[in-house]
């Protein structure tokens, strides 16, 4: 199911496992994500200032990440009031293969990038314990990913993420600033209408 004996690329302490998920695993995971979206529909989050983000998102697991006028936080229910569905089993398999920790994630954030969508530079810091890693799975269109250090204005490096890539932010890179500058729309045939899915697995509580 997963490529074996992959040597990760070192992105300033973050580890990028290129092509970890093969074609069959990618297709299976997309179907599992469709089941999540059927129960917890994608929505457009807002920043605290009221600006609508260009990505649409949903979550699965015990907690889901949301953003609105009240700020960034985790909630036990979808904005429509329903419980979040379970984390896709294949995403859990990725976590167990790469996290190196004896626990499962509390949340799997699902971001969908349509044409023109991007994600500004940010840190993943809404969790209670930064010793747990963050694991991100790319599906669909290529994305120009940018990563820096723990200071917002520090130097950055950019890499194209392709479908099946898995990124691990852990150790000194756990709080690295990162973002997606753009996607190469239509570069993958994995999703029926193009676009990119990004699954981000996080342990929320201590």
* pLDDT beyond 90 at 117: yes
Strand-pairing partners, residue 198, are 111, 138
The token pair that represents 199 in the structure block: 């699954």
In the predicted structure, residue 168 carries a pLDDT above the cut 70 = yes
Percent of the residues in the chain that have a pLDDT greater than 70, as a whole number: 100
Cα separation of the two ends of the chain: 31
| pLDDT tens digits for range 19-72 | 999 999 999 999 999 999 999 999 999 888 888 999 999 999 999 999 888 888
Are 15 and 167 contacting, i.e. CB atoms less than 8 angstroms apart?
yes
Question: How much is the mean pLDDT over the chain?
Answer: 95
| Rounded CA Rg of the chain | 16
Task: Please give the CATH architecture assigned to the domain spanning 9-202.
Answer: Sandwich (2.60)
pLDDT for the residue 194: 97
Q: What is the pLDDT of residue 81?
A: 95
pLDDT band at 91 (very low <50, low <70, confident <90, very high): very high
Q: Give pLDDT, residue 187.
A: 98
User: How far, in Å, CA of 204 to CA of 206, rounded?
Assistant: 7
What is the secondary structure of 29-75 as a DSSP string?
Answer: HHHHHHHHHHHS--B--B-TTSPBPSSEEEEEES-EEEEETTEEEEE
């Amino acid at each position: 199911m997963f490529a074996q004996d992959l040597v990760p690329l070192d992105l300033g302490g973050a580890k990028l496992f290129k092509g970890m998920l093969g074609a069959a695993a990618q297709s299976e995971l997309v179907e599992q994500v469709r089941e999540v979206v059927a129960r917890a529909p994608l929505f457009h989050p807002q920043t605290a200032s009221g600006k609508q983000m260009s990505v649409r998102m949903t979550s699965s697991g015990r907690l889901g990440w949301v953003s609105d006028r009240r700020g960034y936080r985790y909630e036990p229910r979808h904005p429509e009031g329903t419980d979040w569905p379970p984390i896709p089993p294949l995403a859990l398999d990725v976590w167990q293969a790469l996290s190196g920790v004896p626990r499962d994630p509390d949340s799997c954030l699902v971001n969908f990038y349509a044409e023109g969508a991007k994600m500004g530079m940010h840190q993943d810091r809404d969790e209670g314990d930064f010793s747990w890693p963050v694991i991100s799975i790319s599906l669909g269109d290529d994305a120009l990913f940018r990563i820096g250090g723990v200071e917002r204005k520090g130097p950055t490096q950019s890499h194209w993420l392709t479908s099946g890539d898995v990124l691990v932010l852990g150790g000194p890179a756990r709080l690295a600033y990162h973002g997606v500058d753009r996607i190469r729309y239509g570069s993958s045939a994995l999703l029926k209408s193009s676009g990119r899915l990004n699954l981000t697995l996080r342990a929320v509580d201590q």
